Amino acid sequence: MLEKYRFDVGHFCLNFWVFSLTGSDTQDFLQKQSTFNMTLMREMEFHLVSFLDPQGRIDFYCWLCRAKDEYKVLVPLTLKDKAIIRLEKFLISEDVIINDQGAQEWTVIMGPSALKSQSALHFSGTFFEEQALLTQESPHQDIHQLSQVEVENWRRLNGWPDLKGTNFKHEIINNTRLFELSVSGQKGCYPGQETVSKIAVNRGAAYAPVLIQTSKALDIGDLFIIDKKVGEVEFTLPIDDYFISGSKILRDFRVSGLELSLEQSGQNHQAKVMYFPFYSGDPKEKSLENFYLGAESFKNNQLHLAESYFKKSVELDPGNADAFESLGVMLGRQERFSEAIELMDKLSAVDPSSVLAHTNKSLYLMRQGKIDEAEQEKSLATIKSFQKFGDEAKLKEKIEQEKIRQEAEWSKREQMFKQVLEIDLEDTLANYGMGSIEVERKNWESAKNYLEKVLLVDTQYSVAYLALGKAYKGLGLKDKAREIWQKGLEVAAKKGDLMPANQMQMELTQI
């Protein structure tokens, strides 16, 4: 249902407690006190902003709107007392007047078409990753209203803060999505900035939010890997035939696409890590979504539906050559030749190297009886096909260059490890390094010899078990791979080496 709004426009209403800040020092005051770089905000824009204490913990968050002679601070209702205390706390002699305007209803209009309804009384910005407007005006009657459930699901899946402030926690901002949404990088000093920067530079927060995809619903609560807590589930929502959970996860496991074997309440769950946001606001990504939906509809002979998806795809991204081509081909098959020819011209403008744009246009002109024009397009297709062969040759050359670069990198590392082995043949780090390189090269036998030597010297070298199992698997020795991973899993679990342990566990489930 959200696609209706994500690909077009929708609105919903919010109640805020509003403070108006005026005076000659207002921008400078907000610049020194908030996490957002106020110099980036233009008149009639809004942005999500956080205010921190000196330890980097969130005092409150708000939506800041810049008008001509004032800044409006839109605060979730339950945070109003925290907001006024924090705003007044560091206000000493600055020319800033805080005017409490009380509770107000505002409207959020969001989606790719939102800006079409913009007026002088609308603030523009981003909401749930989407282009959006904030206003006290009533939205146009043609703009559909989102339900509370849709708003809440969208908010959660894209990791935005509680719109009412009900679940607010006074915690370090690096532990939350507010770090990504409201903190400007390379910004000058503000309360808590030193702590926030230090955590960000030093590998990030110990626990921070990501999404987890599973086939079964996770419960709210702790997550474990081999009896060690690695995260905590905050919500779970069904999406199609799987579940998405918002979770705070230990930093070593916050890798997009990483597959984890998680334990919760005696149940094992195979999970995949995903980054926020779940729903992209990027028009190009939305265009691709519509293109794939169009292709699937076309395959199922749902031509009317396919046409609407392809048209939405090019509307969202006028540079999507595949969508122009697919729509043109589909219309050509329906003998809508004039429309198809127009689309092939647009395809040529978007992708001047396209051979099919001229080939298809030639075919459609031929069907219209325009023989001379059809021959001209056929000639252009021939010329561009020769150009394309030249481009493919260049691509092959780049691939070869990348192989050479990769081999040079391996050789450099190899030389370093060999120098160590000339001094000490038993050096575990050098043998492991050589074994890892050979695994990357898929030289399985050589990798096996190096890695077996590592484990003869140090039976606690957990990552060597992982690499050796891959070498055995590459040699077709699946039983030996299974045996070595099972041993390695025990070693890694006892040492608390969760990353290799989890990877070996995943390998065991797939062998």
Rg from Cα positions in the chain: 29
| Tally of residues, the chain | 511
Which structure tokens are listed for 509?
Answer: 């489930």
The pair of structure tokens assigned to 17 is 């407690």
Per residue in 385-430, pLDDT (tens digit) is: 766 665 666 667 777 777 777 787 878 888 888 888 888 888 998 9
Cα distance from N-terminal residue to C-terminal residue, the chain = 39
**Is the Cβ–Cβ distance between 180 and 276 less than 8 Å?**
yes
pLDDT of residue 326: 95
Q: Please tell me the predicted confidence (pLDDT) of residue 201.
A: 80
Q: Which residues contact 389 (CB under 8 A, 6 or more apart)?
A: none
pLDDT digits (tens, 9 = 90+) for 478-496: 999 999 998 998 888 777 6
Residue 338 corresponds to which tokens in the numbers above?
């004039």
* Residues contacting 185, CB < 8 A, separation 6+: none
Give residue-wise pLDDT tens across range 442-470.
999 999 999 999 999 999 998 999 999 99
Contacts of 312 (CB under 8 A, 6+ apart): 7, 287, 290
Q: Both tokens of residue 251?
A: 């930093």
From CA 378, how far away is CA 372, in angstroms rounded? 10
Stretch(es) of the chain classified as CATH 3.30.1360.120: 3-146+178-182
- HSE at residue 484, side-chain half, CA atoms within 13 A, is 25
pLDDT for 257? 81
Please return the burial class of 400, using the count of CB atoms within 10 Å of its CB with bins 0-12, 13-18 and 19+.
exposed
The predicted pLDDT at position 361 comes to 92
3-class SS of residue 421:
helix
Residue 51 — φ and ψ, nearest 5°?
-120, 130
Supply the angle between the helices 462-474 and 478-495 in degrees, to the nearest 10: 170
The CATH number of 3-146+178-182 is which of 3.40.50.300, 3.30.1360.120, 2.40.30.10, 3.40.50.970?
3.30.1360.120
What is the C-alpha to C-alpha distance for residues 339 and 141, in angstroms, rounded to an integer? 33
pLDDT of residue 98: 97
Q: Going by C-beta distance under 8 Å and a sequence separation of 6 or more, which residues neighbour residue 383? A: none
Query: What is the location of CATH 1.25.40.10 in the chain?
Result: 283-389, 424-510
CATH code reported for the domain at 424-510: 1.25.40.10
Instruction: Detail the DSSP E strand segments found in 289-394.
Output: none
Could you say which architecture CATH assigns to the domain 206-274? Beta Barrel (2.40)
Amino acid identity, position 138: S
pLDDT in tens, 272-306: 999 999 999 999 999 999 999 999 999 999 999 99
Question: What are the tokens at 31?
Answer: 């610049």
d(CA 212, CA 274): 6
CB 93 within 8 A of CB 6: no
Residues 197-235 have pLDDT tens digits of: 999 888 788 899 999 999 999 999 999 988 889 999 999
- Give CATH 2.40.30.110 domain extents, the chain: 206-274
Cα distances (Å, whole numbers) of residue 2 to 116, 162, 212, 245, 412: 19, 19, 20, 18, 51
The model's pLDDT over 89-99, given as tens digits with 9 standing for 90+, comes to 999 889 999 99
The per-residue pLDDT for 499 is: 77
b/e code 402-416 from CB counts within 10 Å (16+ = b): eeeeeeeeeeeebee
**Which residue, chain included where needed, has tokens 């249902």?**
1
Report how far Cα 405 is from the mean position of its chain's Cα atoms. 29
Fold classified for 283-389: 1.25.40
The mean pLDDT value for 254-278 works out to 90
Identity at 60, one-letter amino acid code: F
Closest CA to 177 of 154, 195, 198, 156: 156
